[in-house]
Amino acid sequence: MTWPLTEDEVARYQCDGCLVVEAALGAEDLAELDEAIRQATETALGREDRARMIEMEPGPEGNGAAEDRPRLRRIIDPYERHEAFRAVAHDPRIVDRVESLLGSDLDLQHSKLNMKPARVGSPVHWHQDLAYYPHTNEGVLAVLIYIDDATEANGCLQVLPGRHHRYFDHHRPEGAFAGRITEAIDPEPEPRTLPAPAGSAIFLHGLTPHSSLPNRSSADRRTLILAYRAGDAYPLYYGRVTVEDEAVHRPVRGRRARHARFGGPAPIVPEIDGTSSLYEIQAGRPGAPPRPRSHR
């Protein structure tokens, strides 16, 4: 059995820069991912180099109240941490649909697992993924798999549909990379929230502006993120961050092209100093945010 996208689904992705596919994974898959998260977390917490494997929510070290204790914010490179994550990254229910959008030669650009713990889940400001890692063309997308039911209350993804045809600036006035969109988006866009049940997969173009609000609910909202790229999309070198990113690149299907394809919007090369996470970069001195009518 194969799981290609329909012509209508491909057209919606090309128009909006995103596509929601419900029930991409089933209850058994989600149970395996839940157990993988538990095992990967326990392994990381027992190691001195845990900062290479997990990232914690900021906060006090805990004074007896559960809500004051640090909570896990991210598993870094989950593909490298457990076979269950690798299985999903190669699962035809995911990869067949990616092939419908990027072609038959596919690589995994990177992976991460954002936790969004109840009541403390960090927000993510408006940004474009390719602003962090520009490529020779725009044949890059992320698949966001909701491991828990995602709602507006627990900080589901929100996007600016149809705004995936150019790079927006992500730099502060002095030139430092802000990790968020710092120019006004005109005309002012209307954000679209993407709530969906657990097991749903969101296919997100690398230039689609997106964000998520804090988790203000009593329920965790975990999301496995798998970024794929076409075999002829090669990263633009802009410093050691590029080299470190390439260390986690993995082949998925077909082969890498012998020649890079150049095309699409002209990339803005990021001025990134160091390898801090998106959360840490965005927590720096903020630039001017985009001007949507509502952040919901």
- Asked whether the beta carbons of 212 and 157 are under 8 A apart, the reply is yes
Q: Is residue 292 part of a domain?
A: no
Q: Is the pLDDT of residue 291 over 60?
A: no
pLDDT at 274 (0 to 100): 64
| Residue 257 tokens, joined | 């092209």
Q: Is residue 226 part of a domain?
A: yes
Q: What is the mean pLDDT of the chain?
A: 89
Q: Is residue 250 part of a domain?
A: yes
Q: Is residue 296 part of a domain?
A: no
Mean pLDDT on 205-214: 95
Residue 189: what residue type?
P
Q: Is the pLDDT of residue 236 over 70?
A: yes
Mean pLDDT on 232-260: 93
- Asked whether the beta carbons of 144 and 225 are under 8 A apart, the reply is yes
Q: Is residue 68 part of a domain?
A: no
- Asked whether the beta carbons of 78 and 41 are under 8 A apart, the reply is no
Quickly count: other Cβ atoms within 10 Å of residue 96's Cβ: 15
Mean pLDDT on 60-78: 66
The helix (run of H) or strand (run of E) holding residue 146 is: strand 140-146
**Domain containing 141 — which CATH number?**
2.60.120.620
Q: Is residue 138 part of a domain?
A: yes
Q: Is residue 253 part of a domain?
A: yes
What does the longest C-alpha to C-alpha distance in the chain come to? 58
Q: Is the pLDDT of residue 123 over 90?
A: no
pLDDT in tens, 148-170: 999 999 999 999 999 999 999 99
Q: Is the pLDDT of residue 276 over 80?
A: no
Q: Is the pLDDT of residue 287 over 60?
A: no
pLDDT in tens, 9-23: 999 999 999 999 999
pTM higher than 0.75: yes
Interatomic CA distance for residues 219 and 151, integer angstroms: 10
Number of domains making up the chain? 1
Q: Which domain holds residue 171?
A: 7-46+73-282
Q: Is residue 60 part of a domain?
A: no
